[in-house]
Structures are given as C-alpha cells and as structure tokens.
Amino acid sequence: MKASLMPRSIRMAILFACLVATVAFRAAPVAAQSPLQEVLQTVQDQVANPARRTVPEVLDALLATEAPGRLEFLRAWAEREVYVRPGDGLFFYARDAADQSLVLLDIDTGAEIDRVGSRDVNQIRPNAGVRREIAAALVKFELLDPEPAQRRAALETVARSPDPEQIPALRAALAEEDDPGIAARMERLINLLVARFAPDTATRVAAVESLSGDISTEARRVLNQLLQTRTDFAETRPEDTNLATLRTVGGDIGLEDAYARLADAGHFPPRPGHNAIRDALRAHVVAGEVGGVPVHRLDTDAARHEAYRALEEAGSVPPLVTQADMEAAVSQYVFFDAYLEPDPAVTDAARAALDSTRTAISAWQFLGITLDALSLASIFFLAAIGLAITFGVMRVINMAHGEFIMMGAYTGYVVQTLIPSYTVSLVVALPLAFGVAFAAGVSMERLVIRHLYTRPLETLLATFGISIALQQLAKNVFGTQARPLTAPDWLAGAIRFNDIVSISTIRVAIFVLALMFLLLLLYILNRTRLGLEVRAVTQNPGMAGSMGISPDRINMLTFGLGSGIAGVAGVAIGLYAQVTSEMGANYIVQSFMTVVVGGVGSVFGTLAGAGLIGALQKGIEWFNPANTLAAQTYMVLFIILFIQFRPKGIVALKGRAAGD
Amino acid sequence: MTMQLSEDPQAVAPAPRRTFLYENPSVLWFMACLGLFTLIVSVLSEGMGTGLISTSLVKILGMTLCLCLIAIAMDVVWGYCGILSLGHFAFFGIGGYAIGMWLMYARTEIVVRGNLAAGTIPPTEAEVAEAVAAQIFGVVGSSELPLIWTFAGSLPFQLAMVVLVPGLLALVFGWLAFRSRVTGVYLSILTQAMTLALSLYLFQNDTGLRGNNGLSGLQNIPGALDVPQSVLSVWFFWASAAALGAGYLFFAWVVSGKFGSVIRAIRDNKTRVRFLGYNVEGYKLFVFTLTAVISGIAGALYYPQAGIINPAEIAPIASIYLAVWVAIGGRGRLYGAVIGAVTVSLLSSWLTGGGAPNIDFGFYRIVWTDWWLVLLGLGFVLVTLFFPKGIGGLFDYLVRKKE
Amino acid sequence: MTKRILIASAAATSLATASAALADCPIQVGVLHSLSGSMAISETTLRDVMLMLVEQQNAEGGLLGCELEAVVVDPASDWPLFAELTRQLLTVNEVDVIFGAWTSVSRKALLPVLEELNGLMFYPVQYEGQESSRNVFYTGAAPNQQAIPAVDYFLEELGVESFALLGTDYVYPRTTNAILASYLAEQGIAEEDIFVNYTPFGHSDWSTIVSDVVALGAGGKQVGVISTINGDANIGFYTELAAQGISADDIPVVAFSVGEEELSGLDTSRLVGHLAAWNYFMSADTAENEAFIADWHEFIGDEDRVTNDPMEAHYIGFNMWVNAVEAAGTTDVDAVREAMWGQEFPNLTGGMAVMNTNHHLSKPVLIGEIRADGQFDIISQTEEVPGEAWSPFLAESASLTSDWQGLGCGMFDTGSETCVQLTSNY
C-alpha cells in the first residue's frame, strides 16, 4: 500500500537496487556464511522440512555448538518466523513489506538482505509436535528466565513432555526460584518425574505413594503410565515378569483370539477362515469336482469342509483347524497380562495409589454430571417458563414460542454487530430482547389469539402458521447461516473445581439468569396485584371477570411476559450454542415436554419438569456416552410413559382450575 | 372394544332406508373426478400415452394422491372425531419403511445371487445373507443384517407389516393415552412426542434402518427391474388412485352411518356421549387405529414413487403440515381434506419450483422460493381466523345460494 | 421433509440466453444445489461458483461453438427432491451434465435416477467412499485423501495414542470412523483407546462430551480428537472447547468438515492451533489461487467472502469436463466419460489433479492449523494421492476395486475376478 504512494521512478529504482542486491548475494560464495547458518546447513533438510522424528537431530546439532543466536533461532523457528530460499537453501528471518513482499533478514546480523515476493521464499511451518520438541529442548534455558511467565510456560512444557533429563534441570532451577507458586509447581513436577523415571525403587515408591488420593489428571496419567500392560503367553506361568493378571481362555480372552496369537507366533498353523476355505476349493476344482465332492453340492459349510478334508489329506492345502484342535493347542499355554514396568514394588504402589482415588473420582464425576444436568435444566426452564404461564393462564398452546426465542437471539446478534464491546452489547441485548419479544407477543395476542380463545386446538394451528412465517422471514432477513453470539471474555472461560469437574462460566450465568427469572416470577405472581389477578384468571376466568378483573388485559400482559422471557432465553441459548432460524423449532418440543411433565400453569411445576428432563437426559447420557441421540429418544419415551401415570404433570393444579 | 349401537338393527330400521350414495352425493362426484383425472393423466403420460406429461410429473401426481389418502385419514380422526393427532405421519413413514425393507432386500438379493452364481462354486445361504448385508449396510459403516431384517426378503410378510406395525403402534399408544383420559392439547403434544421419538430413534444408525440415510433406490421394483420408470410411474399412479378411491369410499361409508354420528358426537361433547352409555375411549381408539393403518398403506404407496425414505420424513413438522392441509381444505368433510392436500402441495410446487414468475418492484424483488412459506403461514392464520370451514366451506356457500 | 411437496413440477430458472448455432446449442449445465433448507448455507456458495465458472467459460467463447447455459434448480435440502429434480433435469431440461449434491444421502437419493437415465454428474464434496458410479465423477476427497493422512499426522507428528472420534450421526462419520477404527487397529492402537461418540445434527449441549474427552487424558496417553461433526453443531462444539480451555497443545482436534466457510464469523482466537484436513485451503500461496480468489470476489461483489475445498473441487471438475467435451467433440455422456479418464488440470494449491479411471481424482492432501483470523496455516502438503473408491481397511470392501476403463466395472471383486454390479449401492 505504501509503495503506491511513492513516485513511480523511485519504486523502479528500489526494485532495481533489490535486483542488483539479489544478484550480488547469489553470486557470493557460500564460505561467507555465518557460524549459525553454517551449522544449520548441515541439517538443512531437517530444518526446512521439520518433522517430529527428525527434529532431535537439529536440536542436537544446534545445542552442541555455541553459535550465537541459536536459542533465538530455535524460538523463531517454532514461531514460524524462519524462511528458506529454495534456490540456495539458506535460512532467513523476514519482515512484512508492502505489496505482499517480504524483506529478508540475516539470521546472524539481522541485516536486511533482500526484498522478495512471498512466493519466492518458503515460510517454514513446524507443526505442533515439532514445536513441542523444540520447547522441551529449550526448557533448561527458560527455567532460569527472569520472566515468571516464561518459567511457567517452561513448566507446562515439562508437564506435557516429561523426560528424565529434566529432573536435574528442575532441581537446579528450584534452588534459584523465589516465586512460591512456581516453586511449588516445580516440586510437584519433580515428584511426578521421580515417580516415573527415578532409578532406585525406594524413592520411586515414596513418590508414587505421595500421589495416593491425588485426583488430578497429571497424577493419574503418571500412575496409569506405570500400570500399562501387554498381553502375552508362555508355556508355564512366568516367574521373571511383573505379572498383572492371568487370563482364562474363553473368559478373559476368546478361544479364537488366543489361538490366533499362537498362530501369529508361528507355534501352530493359522486357522483357515471361511473365505480361505472357499478360495482353496475354488483353486482345486477338477472336472467339476473338488476332493470328490461335486461342485454344485458345495453350497453348504458341511460339504465344503468335507471337500477341504479330502484336499488336506492329499496334502494340497493347509490343515483345517477344528474347535478341538484349537482347544488342544491353547491348553498347552498360559495367557497373561504383564506390566511393562518390571518393578513389582512400583506397580503395587501405583495400583494402590490409583485405587485410593476411585471413590473420590466417582463422587466428583457425579457432581460434574449433576452440574451439567442443572445447567441443561436451567436452559429448559428459561425456554419453557413463558410457555407454561401462557398455557396456564390462557389454555393456549403457542407454537410460535420457539420463534420468540429465535427473535431474542437475533436481537442479540444484531446488537452485537452494532456495539463492538461484547459486555455492553450483552447488557443492551438482554432487555432489548425482552422488549422485542414482549412487543411481538402482545401484538400476536391482540391480532390473532384473542379471537380464538374458545377454540384452543385452532390456536395451536394458527400459532403454527405464525411460526413458519416467522422462521422463513428470519431466513430471508438473516440468511441460513448459523450466527454466533460471542460471549464477553469474562464469561468465556470455565469455573474449574479440579481436573474432573469444570463448568463453563456462560452456563453458570445462564443458571443465574434462570434463577433470577424464577424469583422474579414468583414475586410477581405472589406479591403483586398483577400476580393476584393472573392467579385469579388462571383458576377461574369467569369468576375473576365478575370480580372486576379484566381477563383481556391480564391475558395480554401474561402473553407479553411469557414471550419476553422467551426472548431472553434466546440470547442465553445463542451465547452457548448458535443462532439459527431453526433454533426455536429445536427447543419447542422440549419446552412442551417440560410444561406437560411439570404440570401447566405452575412455576414450580415447570421447574420440576425442567429439572426432571435435564437430569434424565444427562443420566441416560452417562450410561450410554457413545450415543447422545439414544439419550434423547429414551427421554421422549419416558415422558410419554410418565404422562400415562400423571396426566396432569408433577405439580397438578387442584380444584376447579384442574378442569379443562 | 365394543361398539354397542353401531350394529343394533333396531335403531336403523324405522327410518326409510336410502342408499349410501344417495345420501352422499359428494362421493359420486369425487369418484367421477378421480376417474376422469386418472384417465387424462394415463393418456397424456410418457409411459402409456402421448408423453405430454413427463414421468417426473406423473410421479408427483401419484405421490399427491397418496398424500390425499393420508389427508382424508387425518380428516376422519380430527375433523370427525376431534382428535388432533400431530403424529399421523409417523404411521405413513412406518408403512414406507416396511415396504422399503422388502424393496431393498429383494433387489439387492437379485444382484448378489447373480454375482455369486458367476463364481466357480455355488454360494452358501450364509454367504448370500452376508453379501446382501454388506451391500445394504456397507454404506453406513456396518456389514451385519439387523434382526428386524430377518424376513425382509418375504413380500407377504413385509406387506403385513405395512398394516400391522402402524396398527399395533396406534393401538398401544392410543390405549395408553385414551385410557388415562389424555385429551385436547395434551393429546396433540403427546402424539407429537411420539413421532419425534420415532424419528429420533430411526435417526440412530444402530436402529438397523440405515439411520439418516434411510432406505433408497425404492423406485426400482424387484421383479420389474426391466420395466422403464415411465411405465412403472403410471402403474403406481393407478395404484395410488385406486387406493385413494377405495379409501374415500370406505371412510365415506364409515362416517355416514350411526358410527359416524357417534364419533361426531364425541367430537362435539364427549361427556354427554359417555353419559349416554357409549364407550367413548373404544370409539376413539378404533378411529385412531383405523386411520393409522390407512396412513401406513398410503406411505407404502408413496415411497416407492419418491424413491427414498429417511427419518426426516417423519419429523413432527410433517404431521403438522398434514393438519394444515386438512384445516385449509375444510375439516369434517372428506373432499375438503383432498382439496387441501392438492391445493397446498401443488401450489407450493408451482411457487417454489420456479414456475411462478418472480415479481420485481425495482427496490425489492419477491422471490417466491423465499416468500412462499411466509405466505403459507400467514394464509393459514387468516383461514383459521376468518374461514374456519376452509376452502370446503365455499361449497356450502354455493349450495345454499342455489337453494 | 417439509418440502416434500415443494417439487419443482414445471420448469427451472434459466440464467443465460441462448444463441443457437448448432443443433444442440446451448449446452445445458445442470446445477443441483440446495438453495433453501438446512444445507443452503454450504450449497448456495457452490451454485454461485458454478455460475461464475459458466460465465467465465462463455466469456472465453463458450464450448464447441455453443454458449453454456446454467440450469439452476433448488432441491431445498430435501433428499427425495434431489431424485425428482435429477429426473427433471435429465428428461425435461435435457442437461448435458450436472454439478451438484453435498450430503451423501442426497447423492445416494439421486444415484438410481442418474444411472437409470445415464446422466453425468460431478460431486464436489469430501465423502466416505465405498462407491464408484459409472455416471459420477467424484472431485472431493475419498477417505484415503483426507481421513487417513490426518490420522497419520496425529500418529507420526503429534504422537497421539488415544483417539476420540466425535461425529454427527450419519453416513459419512459412521463409515469414516469404521475405516479409521480398522486403520488404527492396524497401527497398533488398542480398542479401549478409541472413544466414539455420535450426536444429532445441530447438537448444542456439548459440555458432557467435551468433559468425557478431557477425562481420557488421565489414561496416560496423548489424546487427540478426530471430528466429523457437521454443520451448525460445530459452533457449539468449538465454543465449549474454548470455554473449557482445551488448547491444541493438550488435546488437538482435527476436523474433516470444518473449513473457511464454517469458521467465518466465529471468533477463532481461542481455537488457534486446532486442525483441519482438506485438499485445499484459501491461504494456499499460488498464482492460480490468487487469481481464483480475485475472480470470486469480483463475481460475488464481496471482498470478505471466503473460498473453500468444495469450491476448488467444482473448479477442477468443471474445467476437466470442459476439456473432456472439447477432446470428445461432443457432449454425449459416454464419449465425455471416456475422455474424462486421465484428464489433468492444475490444482489451486499447486501440482496437477488427475482424473483416474475409478472416477476419483489424484489430489494433494493438506493439513492446516486454525489461525486467529479464521484462515488456516498449511503445515503439511503431500504429493498427489490417488483417491480410492473402496477402502482396503474394511473387510467387505478389501477385495473390491474400480476401473471403468480397463475392467469396465466400478465394483470389481479381485478375489472372484467378477464384476459385482454395474450399478451402485444406494
């Protein structure tokens, strides 16, 4: 861009100068290379095309020399700031220049050497595996870095790529460390490394035992690594290996699997499978017969075996291994699992330490699931409560409720595109979403639902008509692409109890929001004039009307309130998931379930319904973690059955209000 | 279940008995229209006649007839009996799956046997079954034939399933729901939950019906693999027309007699009917199950023309559309359901298929593909508000005018 | 589903006017991509690319002296409608070639019609393989051109020993994961080190699943996630990953269905370092790519629009078809098919794409790391890999091969030396 401001002649001059410089440099002899470049050229290919397996060669070569700038080079290499020129294979640093060109800098002096197009040199992009290796090699230099942040980063590197050689480096750094937090972390890492790598049994066992009851991931990772096993077999029970378990054939290990292991080791002939038998027979068809059996009879396994036996006797195929053969072979051997770690004292200690964490882990996992269920329940509650109060007061099912959720979410999206600060936009979006959905709800009530109070089933259909119209309108306006609502940074992280239980802040915020609305609704319904009137209309509209309450006004306000809450729910859902025109439809059926299971017209009923459905879904997911879809199916089935037994929901209205 | 009065001859005897068709002139009109329509389509079709109507249009028309059949079933259960079922498309889908299993299995078996027979030694039955399974389930990352496919090779068995599975499901579901007196909006939501559960269940690969992929290639009919689609489409069109005609006649007969009066009475005031001594739940269950069976048959005819069935077909929204057709056409009259289904589906084809010209205002261009659903939704609201009798109500108006 | 009835009965939108010089002018190019419904987000872009390519070709003087005319129809993400519209395109509009489809289920829906009427289609999206239709040219990646190299990268470069295979519950993830499970077993990864989870389309509640993945880390092995999660659900998934602070250094995620288009609009600053495997990235620094992006921006009139892998697939497919038609001198399907074998066209990422006789392309495999700006840093690029129609890692397809030129069969059993069938499984 800048170049375009220069007069044309100057640009030409620069270009010419560069050209000359390039030619001059290319002509320069390789002997002029600096020490670092020289070292790098000995491992040119490994630097230019870094791979995890070859990076140690580069590291060894570089760290063996005392070439100045080698550490800077390694850091720059990892940060993808090194370029290679295909013509001569030399390495450079580079700086962006105008017109997508690069200024090449010498890796020793930092002097500007050349200006080239981005396609004339290749940026070297080491992958994450290579970068981890580089970081691990730099650990011993960075542990002594004056910046605490650098030292912390180095410690994380140690945690990720543990290595026995790091123990002395860590001990040395620990002696110098004055930050107590970092020092504690160093001690812990030393302990973990010792447990895994220390040479003598006693220190290791002590280190392992100190991990007993530790539920952190890194401690259990070390313990599990110590307890890794391999499956093997021997003629007699092995004495010299660190045995984990003996396997019984038919129980812990299948007969065919066991035999296959023996066959793989070459002790017995492999068992010809179905296809092998068929192919062998195919290959030995002679004059329409195989081993004396006519070909057309070979459409059963019995006949095929008979023919195969005949071939086997003639010696032209490998033997057919029968069940009895396999059993006989397998019975001569013992199958077992052995620890890779040869020292039984260490594995026993590790086993004991791991077992000691089991109860605590289950408890924490249960807590984690409970938190997830609570979070899900609060989302269902927010989505459904509006529906519940409108249904309770007006006996009207609003199929467009989901679209009010969507409206709220899109309001949030629009606000976010207008206001750059995520926090401010969220603060603006919540009341605005409420307002937009409130207005939409009230106008829908006035224009459509008011005329259909005597025909509840038709309200259901009319609101469905509004729902498809709104959905399509949203598509026309916002397009079909899912839009993200980005949470502000203070809501973006997670609250971490320990390595097992953590819950994202946004979910906690949604939970708090749901709680606030619960309290607000309870207050409005139980403590205000409006609430009294709403309850009166809920219980008996006719009687309420004759007491001077205007059911019309109450209906309108309730509907607006219910829709407004849906709008707020939309912002909440958009924050943790995505905003699409179909998001309302995704929540509407679940909202219905929540209302129906909980019992209509009751805040506590909806709360119970949301709690039950949330807990149920998470519970089923826990038992069947591989298939989330199955959890949803079973949940719906459960709800269908549940309604058989409590058709009015968990919290059923009593007395006259119960009549429909 | 007991239908005490429907078979009581005494109740009918005193009135001078007029013929069923005389009582229901609309049936004759409908039959005549359907017959004429079938004739015209056959004569103009590509496979049998002049070719003015393309094969794909014949298929669309045949499918529309199947939709009409399920629409009249919906009308009987909702318009006549007052049960707003938002789950009847589930039965339609089950019918399609039942016949689809046979179509897929039998077609694949022909291919597999042909291929294995070409080998040097004959295949065992296990090999055939394995190869069929690999062909059908290979595309969804599996190679074993699930248990529910055990009899998929038998046409009579699968045809029985077309009727039995929807019937049994409706019977069990209805029995549970009606027994605990779930009515009104609750029942609607419950039926919606049923179809949602079924579609979620079928979406799972582990169900054994190929998950989201569903069953495809259903337009190739085993035993008629050499018949071109242009001819097959007309055959299916005839079958759909015949099924619609028979279904219409049957339902018209069902709702015209005493039985019809009872179910209408249940719709209008079930408490009074119950106090009169009728078994309200029994009647409801009978109607619910009967219409489910007819829906299954409609589905079994529809999907071989569509060529593919997958769980998205029975998502709750499809059943709601069904209610929309019936409401727009006019509830409580069978021809109303047919009019609704035909009008909405063909109008939507016309508007979204690019048939209707887009309107350019200069500042904004109305693209019908984008605006059709908005139009449908709002139109539907207007019909509910101002024309509760739907399009069919126009006939009443005309008849009254004549009188 | 809802659009069952939205069947285009009469005609399709025609976008160019004809100038008939030859008898079969103009040459009709069918474009069968959903413009409404759930897939519209991905497929609308491909419709636009096709319109651009047709316009460019017309500007260069058309083909065989004829104008090209794009016939665009909208199957509305409704699978049966794909079959209907294919029949309509081939019989009513009489198109010479179709470019279309995205999801595997839509392809499977239209295959029987395509094979019955002997049409010609180019399918531009990465898919699960296990298919080689006489009438389809697959310009997207087969599993060996995307999934297997990505897993190799995990094993080789990142040292991953414990795998979480997360996917949306449909054909592509199911089959891909079946292939990967078998491949991983061959690489010595034990069954208990593979965690598999399937979620519904548009899934939003990811916290439990992400926690499950984190919990795998306690097993003492490096954990990696292979994601075949499709569409909208990715937003929730990546948001949860970011919220739980899972950095690519701890648990790398490689995705097969997440490209520039899916990331656009998402705040990727917390996702930096996670991976995707494709045959094309917008960030590829070549002259061809620069020109393509410039053309695209000019055509669409929006400098912010991204390009992605399926767009490149259509670019290659369309140009190969044009060259094949010129070589054959006709648009006749059988002649063009034969001319397609061995067609070469430069990739946008460098090198040459070749159409093999199994109707799959040879293309380079690229692995990219997500950058903060929503683009990818290409960290690995292989030589051209020929696409395999049938995976050797699945027992039922291990002995199958496809060669339409030599064997004249797309599903040839090398064990029994017979052609299993000439049509496809659908």
Rounded to whole angstroms, how far apart are CA atoms C382 and C278? 11
Number of domains in chain B: 1
Nearest by CB to residue B381, choosing from A300, A466, A471, is A466
User: What token pair was written down for A371?
Assistant: 């938190």
The minimum CA-CA distance between B59 and chain C, rounded to whole Å, is 9
The whole-number pLDDT of residue B356 equals 65
Q: What is the dihedral of CA C36, C37, C42, C47, to 10 degrees?
A: -20
The pLDDT value recorded for residue B353 is 63
The beta-carbon neighbor of B56 closest among C1, C2, C88 is: C88
Q: Residue C294, exposed/middle/buried by CB under 10 A (0-12, 13-18, 19+)?
A: exposed
Of C7, C128, C201, the CB nearest to B60: C7
Closest CA to B245 of B22, B19, B23, B33: B33
Range of lowest pLDDT (A262-276, B241-255, B299-313, C98-112): A262-276
Q: Does B176 sit within 8 Å of A633, measured CB to CB?
A: no
What distance lies between CA C163 and its chain's CA centroid? 24
The ipTM assigned to this model is 0.83
The pLDDT score that the predictor gives to residue C11 is 34
Q: What is the mean pLDDT of residues A58-87?
A: 87
Q: Note the pLDDT tens digit of each residue in C335-371.
A: 999 999 999 999 999 889 999 999 999 999 999 999 9
Question: Residue A111 is which amino acid?
Answer: A
How far is C240 from C226, CA to CA, in rounded Å? 16
Q: Would the CB atoms of A128 and C287 count as touching at under 8 Å? A: no
Which pLDDT score is estimated for B17?
57
Three-state DSSP state, B105: helix
Nearest-Cα distance to chain A for C138, in Å, is 26
Mean pLDDT (chain C, rounded): 87
B 295-324 → A contacts, CB under 8 A: 316-317, 320, 323-324
Which of A 522-561 lie inside 8 A of C, CB atoms?
A: none
C-alpha to C-alpha distance for C58 and B170, rounded to whole angstroms: 59
pLDDT in tens, B321-359: 899 899 889 888 899 999 999 998 888 777 766 566 777
pLDDT, residue C8, reads 37
CB of B220 within 8 Å of a chain C CB? The answer is yes
Give the separation between CA B167 and CA B313, rounded to whole angstroms.
19
The pLDDT of residue C336 is 95
Q: Are A576 and A513 in contact (CB under 8 A)?
A: no
Average pLDDT over residues B159-184: 90
Whether A323 and chain B come into contact, CB under 8 Å, resolves to: no
The total number of residues written for chain C in this structure: 426
What value does the mean pLDDT take over residues A318-325? 85
Mean of pLDDT values over A77-91: 89
Best of C38, C196, C211 to substitute, by most chain A Cβ atoms within 10 angstroms, is C211
Smallest CA-to-CA distance from C382 within C369, C364, C368 is with C364
pLDDT of amino acid A89? 87
Residue C20 pLDDT level (bands cut at 50, 70, 90): very low
> How many angstroms away from the CA of B64 is the closest CA of chain C?
8
User: A435 pLDDT band (50/70/90 cuts)?
Assistant: very high
- pLDDT score recorded for residue C366: 95
∠ Cα A416 A422 A423 (to 5°):
125
Listed range (A19-23, A261-265, A453-457, A552-556) with the worst mean pLDDT:
A19-23
Q: Is residue B393 part of a domain?
A: no
Selecting from C76, C92, C397 the residue whose C-beta is nearest the C-beta of B352 gives C76
Q: Out of B120, B324, B375, name the one closest to residue A461 (CB).
A: B324
Predicted local distance difference test score (pLDDT) of residue A11: 53
> pLDDT, tens digit, for every residue of C372-393?
988 999 998 999 999 999 999 9
**Subunit contact A469:B381, Cβ cutoff 8 A:** yes
Name the pLDDT band for C288 (thresholds 50, 70, 90): very high
Evaluate if residue A329 carries a pLDDT over 60.
yes
Q: Kindly determine whether residue A127 and residue C243, on different chains, have CB atoms separated by under 8 Å.
A: no
pTM: 0.85
Q: Which residue has the tokens 């059911």?
A: A551
Reported as a single tens digit per residue, the pLDDT across B273-298 is: 999 999 999 999 999 999 999 999 99
Determine phi and psi for C280, rounding to 5 degrees: -155, 140
Q: Is B321 on the interface with C (CB under 8 A)?
A: yes
Min distance B153 CA to chain A CA atoms (Å): 20
| Of A419-428, B356-365, C40-49, highest mean pLDDT | A419-428
Is A458 at the interface with chain B, CB within 8 A?
Answer: yes
Q: Is B382 domain-assigned?
A: no
To the nearest whole Å, the CA of B247 is away from the closest chain A CA by 26
Residue A158 tokens, joined: 């140690």
Q: How many helices (H) and strands (E) does chain B have?
A: 16, 4
Which contiguous run of DSSP H or E holds residue A247?
strand A243-247
Contact status, residue C286 vs residue C350, Cβ threshold 8 Å: yes
From the list C395, C301, C383, the residue with the least C-alpha distance to C347 is C383
Residue (of C333, C275, C273, C261) closest to C98 by Cα position: C333
Amino acid A626: pLDDT:
64
**Whether residue C9 has pLDDT greater than 60:** no
CATH 3.20.20.80 corresponds to the domain C144-283+368-386: no
Examine the pLDDT at B96 and tell me if it is beyond 90. yes
Q: Quick check: B371 contacting C, CB < 8 Å?
A: no
CB of B378 within 8 Å of a chain A CB? The answer is yes
State which residues form the domain around B274.
Answer: 21-315
Please judge whether B197 and A471 are an interchain contact, meaning their C-beta atoms are less than 8 angstroms apart.
no
Mean pLDDT of C197-214: 85
Please return the burial class of A147, using the count of CB atoms within 10 Å of its CB with bins 0-12, 13-18 and 19+. Answer: exposed
Largest CA distance in chain B: 81
Kindly state whether C272 is in contact with chain A, defined as any CB-CB distance less than 8 angstroms. Answer: no
Question: DSSP 3-state assignment of B377?
Answer: helix
Closest Cβ opposite residue B203 in set A296, A298, A629: A629
Q: What is the pLDDT of residue C339?
A: 95
| pLDDT above 90 (res B239) | yes
Judged against a pLDDT cut of 50, whether residue A69 lies above it is answered with yes
> Could you tell me what percent of chain B has a pLDDT over 70?
93
pLDDT, mean of residues B172-183: 86
Closest-CA distance of chain C to residue A190, Å: 17
Residues of B in contact with A473 (CB under 8 A): 374
**Exposure letters B33-57 (e unless 16+ CB within 10 A, then b):** ebeeebeebbebbbbbeeeebbbbb
User: Is it the case that residue A376 has pLDDT exceeding 70?
Assistant: yes
CA distance A263 to A336: 17
Chain A: give the shortest CA distance to residue C393, in Å: 17
- Say if the Cβ atoms of C171 and B213 lie within 8 Å: yes
Q: Which domains does chain A show, CATH number per domain?
A: 2-129 (no CATH), 143-226 (no CATH), 230-339 (no CATH), 361-658 (1.10.3470)
Computed over every residue of chain A, the mean pLDDT equals 84
Q: Is B67 among the domain residues?
A: yes
Residue B391: CB atoms within 10 A of its CB come to 18
- Does any CB of chain C come closer than 8 Å to the CB of residue A369? yes
State whether residue A643 sits within 8 Å of chain B by CB: yes
Tokens at C5, concatenated: 């009835």
Nearest to B288 by CA among B158, B159, B168, B162: B168
pLDDT(A2) > 60: no
Q: Do A128 and C157 touch (CB under 8 A)?
A: yes
- Position C5 confidence tier, pLDDT thresholds 50, 70, 90: very low
- For residue C172, give Cα distances in angstroms to B141, C134, C176: 9, 21, 6
Q: Which residue from C195, C202, C248 is facing A128, i.e. has the nearest CB?
A: C248
What is the reported pLDDT for C17?
33
Residue A96: helix, strand or coil by DSSP?
strand
CATH C-level class of C2-141+285-362 = alpha beta
Q: Which pLDDT tens digit goes with each residue over C230-275?
A: 877 888 888 888 888 888 888 999 999 888 988 876 778 878 899 9
- Domain ranges across chain C: 2-141+285-362, 144-283+368-386
B363 falls within a domain: no
What is the percent of chain A with per-residue pLDDT over 70, rounded to a whole number?
93
